[in-house]
Chains A and B, each alone.
Chain A
């Protein structure tokens, strides 16, 4: 009992320990708040990517991959609900007679897209796509004004005015002032292989009619993507190879089994494309396919964690300094504690308890204030903007209307654990010094 009692008395009579508590509180607070905001962003971005993606994708298929064969292989899997062939290519879109826009500055628009001329041109089979992805919903999203919608969402890529049609992301469409029925030219290049194996690029220009706009929650996808009919694009790029499929979108029945399914599908696909006893093609979950994009936010969050942990290290040094001072001051008491029946272990515990009380109070205050701050972050942001005109956090980058925030209990436990461990290590050093102090030295000297 004396250990805790003395620890508390020592602490309460030394206001400097409030500094240590403050240090721990601030570091825990920062780790909770900042990471929860980043987790919020990550969560939102993930949802956005999710709605704009198929559950899984088969990519990197070899030139001899055949849709008739692979679609059967995929459908044979018990967890595959639907599959749609795709052809992902690149190109530029302009009005007839207009020069293509200048090349972008490096890095611009990489995140949200839309202000650079290079587009991802995806050839799709609308009927298969409707079954496999959220495609049907993108065409009739409430944000798309009636004037910009496809004439027939059930057959969105039906030729119009004798020309193949193209579907364009809503914002790009509005920015360029395009409307259904407008004529546009898609400029791209194909890579032809001559009979002797030499490869040569060939310029391809395709006259298209705008069919309508689409909108997913993923602004980066909308801004950079247009859809055309798979047959049209394949014909322009690969000529008569009518059954060739370079990429396939897959919808699964049970998403909880996605990882296992993807592994199974990859084996099946590689078996089906095997040549010279080597399989081709990879199957990725939506998350793996967008790893780079999602990893970006996760990576920033990781970096911030490291930066914020530095605050905890600083707090730890503060605590070490104050506790060491206290032990130096209190060695005089060690003698009488021993005389009253205390042991070196007991004396250690007194000073260890001091550190643990500081850490514990710091953790509780930090977790509490951090949670409150995170939950009311949007209100705080608005309050600050109202009072000072400064906007602390840009939310429109991801097309949001409030600061996203996602409190992860596991992370909070980790933070608490980290702080506790830090506190333990930091108080152990002075406490051990106290333990090795000879009580008789205190009793002899005055």
Chain B
């Protein structure tokens, strides 16, 4: 492939959790590289540490050992604010349970991603453009007519589409999806996955997809399997 460093990489990443006196090792040295435009599926039994790895890759948590690199530069040890900024710029998350904010409409939920990194005045200056971008994304995910609906008024599939639009508004290089279809029936799931893959293609995103679905994994460029805290294939 290309000679440029991977967009996202894990080098010997370890993670232990302390439970009282006991130290529970969850990740025992994970190595992983994802390049721009690459779709990677992450498979593994429940409790294998997939979500934990995803959180570490997205800088939501600090590894107990090893390194996380963005574009070849180590980022796991940066200060909280710096990691938050990188997370905002580089990573879009999609979760199994959508995590939409119930008080906000679909449009506002998406717009929130733009508000995260701007001041009140800064946002005011670009509000029209931000709204247009959010609307375009919602239209792209097929929710052009549901802009002003609250999450409670949307179906599971529609909520996940809103979450996808939200993850993409800040134009990240990487999308980390943790069982995005885990809560959807197979038809809806297929629609959501098709949508994600087409956007991934169009934007050349690096895409890490955690799933239990072998069929879905087969549609990715590469499959990574985890067992007991290590990558086995």
Contact = CB atoms under 8 A, between A and B. Distances in A.
A301 to B, nearest CB: 41
A2 B170 CA distance: 14
B214 interface: no
Interface in A155-191: none
Contact of B112 (A332, A340, A446): A340
A1 B81 contact: no
Interface residues of B, number: 34
Interface string B107-144: 01000110111111011000000000000000000000
B60 A443 contact: yes
A350 to B, nearest CB: 11
- Classify the secondary structure of A's interface with B: helix
Interface string B67-86: 00000000000001100110
B97 interface: yes
A440 B60 contact: yes
B101 interface: yes
A398 interface: no
B84 A342 contact: yes
B80 A343 contact: yes
Contacts of B88: 340-341
A446 B97 contact: yes
Nearest to A442: B99
A6 B87 contact: no
Given A9-B104, A13-B103, A340 B51 contact: no
B95 interface: yes
Q: Quick one: which of A6, A337, A340 has the most chain B CB within 10 A?
A: A340
Nearest to A446: B97
B101 A336 contact: yes
Contact of A341 (B95, B117, B120): B117
Contacts of B120: 1, 4
A6 B80 contact: no
Contact of A443 (B55, B100, B123): B55
Given A439-B60, A440-B55, A5 B85 contact: no
B101 A333 contact: yes
A244 interface: no
B144 to A, nearest CB: 23
B116 A335 contact: no
A339 B93 contact: yes
Nearest to A5: B115
A1 B118 contact: yes
B112 A5 contact: yes
A440 B93 contact: no
Given A5-B112, A10-B103, A343 B60 contact: no
Contacts of A337: 116
A338 interface: yes
A191 B95 CA distance: 98
Given A10-B103, A439-B60, A444-B51, A340 B116 contact: yes
Contact of A339 (B87, B96, B123): B87
Contact of B60 (A5, A6, A339, A345): A339
B11 interface: no
B112 A343 contact: no
Contacts of A368: none
Given A336-B101, A440-B55, A444-B51, A1 B113 contact: no
Contacts of A5: 108, 112, 115
A113 interface: no
A91 interface: no
Contacts of A345: 81
B41 to A, nearest CB: 20
B157 interface: no
Interface string A307-328: 0000000000000000000000
A273 B80 CA distance: 76
A333 B85 CA distance: 18
27 contacts: A1-B119, A1-B120, A2-B115, A5-B108, A6-B101, A9-B103, A332-B99, A333-B101, A335-B99, A336-B95, A336-B99, A338-B60, A339-B99, A340-B166, A340-B170, A341-B87, A341-B116, A341-B117, A345-B81, A439-B60, A440-B55, A440-B60, A443-B55, A443-B60, A443-B95, A443-B99, A446-B96
Which 6 A-B residue pairs are closest in the complex by CB-CB distance?
A: A341-B88, A336-B99, A2-B115, A1-B123, A1-B115, A339-B93
Interface of A: 1-2, 4-6, 9-10, 13, 332-333, 335-346, 439-440, 442-444, 446
Given A439-B60, A440-B55, 15 more contacts: A1-B116, A1-B118, A1-B119, A2-B115, A2-B116, A4-B120, A6-B101, A10-B103, A13-B103, A336-B101, A340-B112, A340-B166, A340-B170, A442-B99, A443-B55
